[in-house]
Structure 1
């Protein structure tokens, strides 16, 4: 499968395309990365160097791929951190151009804007653009609970409200919704969950919650889910494989006491998920 990935990139560490590309390659996908920023490191350090890539330059890179006659060969498009607000239109243009050549291509949008603990950490212009311009063109979205609540206006807290927010999101256009980092109050202590809903059903998976937070884990989660889903079109199977791989990546990172994801050390877990967690139908 060929995947066009429009995301940020960093030289040091692993977020955006610098987190997504290698795991997808280990799944056997050909990945064509397009950068929205090219930073020295992720912004969690408080300082960084490097440019936001202009919309014109991002568009030019994508157009160049089209000029090679390759849009029809793209099986999926994924997008994440957008950098500037003008990137939204470029992403939509790319999705429309690819789907014109390959109507079976899937677009998976990670609507990166923030989380419950940190709040919104992107430009205030970006969340409305994601909600009103980008998400309606997506086949798959992979928000956390905070992002899901913003997109839909439905506060996602317990299971019922999260599922209600998912259905509100699906009414906006996407068929498949993966909700990451689900922290509902009725879950087992010391656990964290993910939920997937599509036309075939609703599923939930529970994993241990490791006592740390690390940048880039959501980017890997979104990429792996899209990679599995585009191959299988099976939400439950994609959820099981993604939960397994991401947990083992985080466990590897935690045991190493690393400030950055141990993306390379955990590589066999992407190619060969242990499938140690049970996916339950809701």
Structure 2
């Protein structure tokens, strides 16, 4: 596949495109990265240097790609943290251009807004922009449980709640909903789950919960899932994504670092071992 990935970037460590591009390449896909910011490191450190690109600059880069006449070859657009609604408008315009050039292309949106325990960490208005503009334009969305609850106005306590919220989100436009960081009343202790819901069914997978928080994990998850789902289908993609992402987190924990060990876990990205059982829901 050829994937236009519009995200942030960091020089040190892994977040945004600096987390998404390598896994996609390791899985054999060509990536056209467009940067919305370029920072020294991710903002979780509390200090960073760098620049936030003007929306017009991001749009110019996309226009330059379009002028090469290659948008008909683009199979997918991937986006993550958007920073400001003006950047979001540029991304949606890019999606429209790609789909006009290649109607078979898909848009995978990671609706980055917040997380349990942290709340929202984006600018005011961004959650509503994602809910009202981004989600209806997307074919695939990859919210965590906190984000899914906001996008649907639901509280998720059970698997039934989770499925209901995912189907509600699907009714707004996306065909496929991947929910990450799932912990319901039915999730086994010391575990975390992912679930995928499509028009063909719903599936979940459970992995051990390791005691660390890392930036860029969601970016890598969305990229790896996108790489698999278009060729392998949702259930297979879920299992392979869970295996690769757990391997990355496991390697990061063993290294005692706060930066994702993408390079160290690259074999698990390229050749997931399907260690975790995928269970059909509902």
- Same fold per superposition (TM over 0.5): yes
Deviation of the 1:97 alpha carbon: 0.7
1:257 maps onto 2:238 in alignment: no
CA–CA distance in structure 1, aligned partners of residues 184 and 248 of structure 2? 23
CA distance in 2 between partners of 1:65 and 1:86 (Å): 20
* TM-score normalised by L of structure 2: 0.98
Matches for 1:261-276 after TM superposition, within 5 Å: 261-276=260-275
The aligned residue for residue 82 of structure 1 is 82
Alignment match, 2:41? 41
Q: CA deviation at 1:98?
A: 0.5
Q: Is the 8 A contact 1:145 1:157 kept in 2?
A: no
Question: Size of the alignment, in residue pairs?
Answer: 281
Matched, 1:157 2:160: no
Instruction: Give the deviation of 1:83 after TM superposition.
Output: 1.9
> What secondary structure is seen at the aligned counterpart in 1 of 2:51?
coil
Unaligned runs of at least 5 residues, structure 1 = none
Listed as ranges, the matches of 1:58-69 within 5 Å are 58-69=58-69
Distance 1:68 1:141 in 2: 29
CA–CA distance in structure 2, aligned partners of residues 110 and 30 of structure 1: 19
The answer on whether the counterparts of 1:76 and 1:230 sit within 8 Å (CA) in structure 2 is no
Distance 1:123 1:278 in 2: 38
Q: Distance in 2 between the 1:264 and 1:230 partners? A: 24
Give yes or no for contact 1:3–1:75 (8 Å, CA) kept in 2: yes
How do 1:67-146 and structure 2 match up within 5 A?
67-146=67-146
Could you tell me how far apart the structure 1 residues matched to 2:154 and 2:55 are?
Answer: 31
2:246 paired residue number:
247
> Contact conserved, 2:213 with 2:258, CA < 8 A, in 1?
no
* Secondary structure in 2 matching 1:86: helix
User: CA–CA distance in 2 between the matches of 1:170 and 1:28?
Assistant: 29
Measure, in 1, the Cα distance between the counterparts of 2:156 and 2:88: 25
1:199 corresponds to: 199
C-alpha distance in 1 between matches for 2:221 and 2:54: 26
Decide whether the 8 Å contact of 1:80 with 1:219 is kept in 2.
yes
- Partner in structure 2 of residue 235 of structure 1: 234
Q: 3-state SS of the aligned residue for 2:261? A: coil
Partner deviation per Cα, 1:197-218 (whole Å, 9 max, x = no partner): 0111100000111111111111
Deviation, structure 1 residue 50? 1.1
